[in-house]
Amino acid sequence: MLPQTIAIALAFGVGAITLLLTGYNPLEAYVAMLVGAFGDTFGIGQTFAQATPIIFTALAFLFAYKCGLFNIGAEGQFLIGAFFAALVGISFSGLPSFIHIPLALGAGILGGAMWGFVPGVLKAKLGAHEVITTMMLSYVALYITGYMVNYPFKAPGWVAQTVVISPSAWLPQILPPTQLSLSIVVALLLVAATHYTLCRTTVGYEVRAIGLNPSAAESGGIGIKKGIILALVISGAMAGLGGAGEVLGVHRRFIEGFSPGYGWDGLAVALVGGLNPVGILLASVLFGALRSGGMTMSRTTHVPLDIASILQALVILFVAAPMLIKYLLKRGGVKKWSS
Amino acid sequence: MKGITKSFPGVLANDKIDFVVEKGEIHGLLGENGAGKTVLMSILYGLYKPDEGKILVNGKDVDIDSPRTAMKLGIGMVHQHFMVVPSLTVTENIILGREPTKNRILLDAKKAFNDVKEFCDRYKLEVDLKALIHALPVGVQQRVEILKALYRGADVLVLDEPTSVLTPQEVQELFRAISALKNQGKTVIFISHKLREVLAICDSVTVLRRGKVVGTVKANSTNLSELARMMVGREVIFKFDKEQPQTRKAVLKIENLQAVDDRGLPALKGIDFNVYACEILGVAGVEGNGQTELVETLAGIRKATAGKIILGEIDITEASPGKRIQMGTSIVPEDRQKRGLIMGFSVMENIILGRHDQPPFAKGLVRINIRETLNYAKNLIDSVAHRSNGTINVREVLSSARKLMESLILGSRDKTTIAKGFVRLDITQTSDYAGRLIDEFSIKTPDKDTLVQHLSGGTQQRVVLAREFSRNPKLIIASQPTRGLDIGATEYVRSKLVDMRNKGCAVLLISADLDEIWALSDRIAVIYEGRIVAVEDPEKTSETEIGLLMAGGKFG
């Protein structure tokens, strides 16, 4: 975690210089941000509420990455999951919550899994690169859900959104009036489950083996194609579950454009989190804090909210750049003397 | 060279080394990988600066601070990895850096050609001077390297492991060239870890071990086992005891096996052979004659385009790699870092590869015993349906329901479990198993959780052997099993292969190293251009014959 910590420190350093150059007091801004993010229960609630969806999408990226796959389509899987959950949420009424909520979450998992299955099959059977297919499917998801909430499932009114889901499918809120819902508990369980699956199950073992060395995995009797499909299905399912959690716990309906790019944030957070579940949890909280703290900062000081976005971008830059350099160095092949 | 000491962080590569080479001799520098041979020669060639010690050339104290100085003093070196420009011609490569010029500007191509030609004739090194380097076989490229060094005025020529890339025939040619150089009054330092070669070509031999000189001996007053002992520090076994097999049962039968290479060209053109229990069948051949494809097809990672592979009595031509492993095939792949091991996995994780989804390592996290579950379900329905006095016995219903849930989620502990869910890796079992194999195969690792990428080549190979040999294989396919290993590790691998043979395994040994084939095989098959051209009894054949067959020559 050391490189990440240094990168974050550097990001805040450069952020401070930016603030100074634009005539703001960095200390004041950072203190406001910190207080906003962690200063009271409302701030903490908002921080974790903002972190929740990113935890899901980051874990989704991580799982596929461990199989050597770049699933950059978490955004689409997230949206489909959210939409499926909303459908189940509005389709039934009168079900007891302990049935309706799992059903809706399950629909979200199913939707995301479907959106992971397609690129998985395309990769395994035809060799189509998952970066292309997952990204393209993201747009398919964006426009399909957009169409659905603009026409067949549009609620009366001006906004492109579904009607409110049945209260029996509502995920209970934890710290009202913050947006924090039980979805954070699901996210935390998923962090643990991901860690367990990767380290302690045969599925995780095979996924990691394929990711590290497909040739040796194949020689060791591991089905590469099956593994690739499974990894993308699980990855998609995780993102889909995150989408479902947002719908059931925060918005209570599917609203067009409700995701400000949680899928993409997930990719960045997975990298900032050092590509391990616990790191992802910490990085998600950092990003959540930047968002919720940033809002408080722009309210209490005169520093614009954009500073939070700049900080976020700097963190990503400082984490990703060394990785890129390392990767390029490896490819360049440093000459060694052999003895 | 006197009292040369050179240390790198953590290693003392050369420790007070005295090394004397007489003018006009061929001097062997022998030692295992990492003994300090290359470092010592790199110091002589000015690539490294020694921490201590001095170098005397013709009795004069010299300071060699760069290869340029070394060349001025008449020292030339041919590296293990050639430093030629592939897109230039042979002549251009040889004159590189010392081009003869007209009027100091223009390249005098004619003079260059004639100069080089004269050199070739003088040292009897035949090369097509106008050929482009990349079109030439490795052996010829090496000759170009030697000519290059000579052209720059080398009197002392250092050859670093020159035979490691050559076929037996090319080795013979190289040896003739070295003898010719000696006759012209040149001095040659021959670095190697191959004992036979050193004995065959050198006048005297200096043996290094762990950065120290063990001794210098005359080649004609020593022998193989003495040199091996000096090199390794103990007795080394060259001949292995083999028990005679009681039965002659074919474990692997291959019939008319065909396959194509990565470019889609035929690589195996109809291979037939059997491997019997208690037998090592050695497949000799120059690399690139279909060995890689043969192993991959047998492993199930390359599709056979025709023919049959029969293991025991079962046709496995279409079976998956995993299935073949379960049926008793073990493979020691030629490229252990690519095919054999997952470098980013720990020793333990590598050791269970291939068995990771089998008990006792894999355990059901969700185990459903169907019969039991159905029983409980029936009980539940009965207890609901059965109304005593018209009322439902709530307690009975609840207890039936609880049992049903338990059987679904937790599963029973008996062995009739038929549906397994997410499978858990049993860490206690895998740790115990890994620990046992680390002891049994003397795997030099800090612990079972160390990543294999941090281990030495020999240790990595031990991890492969531990995994492959400890799952009771019927058939072992070992491809270049000792490539790149030092003599100690080589000996270990070979003795293990013989052990497995003696235990009743059928062993298919594929090796480009004739010595290895010779030392281990009960029968020798020769592969050439995708065909088995001969199967010989080692008692009734000679190295010359096998060598000829490998090169495509028909014998008799």
Signed CA dihedral, B310, B315, B320, B326: sign only? negative
Are the Cβ atoms of B38 and A339 closer than 8 angstroms?
yes
> In this complex, do B424 and A206 lie within 8 Å of one another by their Cβ atoms?
no
**Interface mutation vs chain B, best among A200, A207, A218, A219, most B CBs within 10 Å:** A219
Burial (CB count within 10 angstroms: exposed 0-12, middle 13-18, buried 19+), residue B132:
middle
In B, minimum Cα distance to A200 occurs at B425
Rounded to whole angstroms, the Cα distance separating A214 from B538 reads 39
- State whether A209 and B325 contact (CB < 8 Å): no
Q: Is residue A73 part of a domain?
A: yes
* Cβ pairs bridging A and B (under 8 Å): 85
In a domain, A185, yes or no: yes
User: Which of A270, A265, A269, A273 has the alpha carbon at shortest distance from A4?
Assistant: A273
DSSP three-state, residue B268: strand
How far apart are the CA of A223 and the nearest CA of chain B, in angstroms? 8
Q: What is the DSSP letter of B164?
A: G
The two tokens of residue B8 are 């790198």
One-letter amino acid at B472 equals N
- Nearest Cα of chain A lies from the Cα of B169 at a distance, in angstroms, of 26
Considering just the CA atoms, what is the radius of gyration of chain A in Å? 21
Q: Which residues of A touch B301 (CB under 8 A)?
A: 218-219
Minimal C-alpha gap between B491 and chain A (Å):
21
B457: closest CA of chain A, how far (Å) = 13
DSSP state of A338: -
ipTM of the complex: 0.87
Measuring CA to CA, which residue among A50, A130, A113, A123 is closest to residue A77? A113
Identify whether A226 is part of a domain.
Answer: yes
Task: Map B171-211 to HEC letters.
Answer: HHHHHHHHHHHHHCCCEEEEEECCHHHHHHHCCEEEEEECC
What string of pLDDT tens digits covers the 556 residues of chain B?
888 888 777 677 888 889 888 888 999 998 877 778 888 888 888 888 888 888 888 888 888 888 888 888 889 888 877 777 888 888 888 888 777 777 777 777 888 888 888 878 887 777 888 888 887 777 788 888 888 888 888 889 999 888 877 777 788 888 888 888 888 888 999 988 788 888 888 999 999 888 888 889 898 888 888 888 888 777 766 667 777 766 688 999 999 999 998 888 899 999 999 999 999 999 998 878 899 999 999 999 999 999 999 998 899 999 999 889 989 999 999 888 889 999 999 999 999 998 888 878 887 765 556 666 777 777 777 776 665 555 666 777 777 777 766 665 554 444 444 445 557 888 899 999 999 999 999 898 889 999 998 888 888 999 999 999 998 899 999 999 988 787 788 889 999 999 999 998 999 999 988 888 988 999 999 998 899 999 988 888 887 788 788 877 654 4
Interface test with B, best of A198, A203, A205, A210 (most B CBs within 10 A): A205
Closest Cα in chain A to B349: A205
Question: Domain containing A106: what range?
Answer: 53-288
Distant-in-sequence, close-in-space partners of B149: CB < 8 Å, separation ≥ 6: B76, B77, B78, B157
Contacts of A338 in chain B (CB under 8 A): 38, 80-81
DSSP B69: H
Q: How many CA atoms lie within 13 A of A113 on its CB side?
A: 11
Distance between start and end Cα atoms, chain B:
51
Our count of domains for chain A comes to 1
Pairwise CB contact (< 8 Å): A222 & B322:
yes
- A-contacting residues in B 387-426 (Cβ below 8 Å): 422-425
Q: How far apart are CA A38 and CA A233, in angstroms?
A: 36
Q: Distance (Å) from the C-alpha of residue B321 to the closest C-alpha of chain A?
A: 5
- b/e per residue B282-296 (b: at least 16 CB within 10 A): bbbbbeebbbbbbbb
Count of residues making up chain B: 556
The Cβ of residue A243 has, within 10 Å, a number of other Cβ atoms equal to 36
Q: Min CA distance, B46 vs chain A (Å)? A: 14
Is A268 among the domain residues?
yes
- For residue A232, which of A128, A145, A316, A87 has the smallest C-alpha distance? A128
Is A259 a domain residue?
Answer: yes
Strands B266-276 and B250-260: antiparallel
Residue A14 belongs to some domain of the structure: no
| Chain A: residues touching B (Cβ < 8 Å) | 197, 200-203, 205-206, 208-209, 212-213, 215-223, 337-339
A334 CB neighbour count, 10 Å cutoff: 6
Which residues contact residue A1 at a Cβ distance below 8 angstroms, ignoring those fewer than 6 apart? Answer: A274, A279
Residue A35 lies in a domain: no
Residue B402 · residue B377 · CB < 8 Å:
no
Q: Which residues of B touch A201 (CB under 8 A)?
A: 365, 422-425
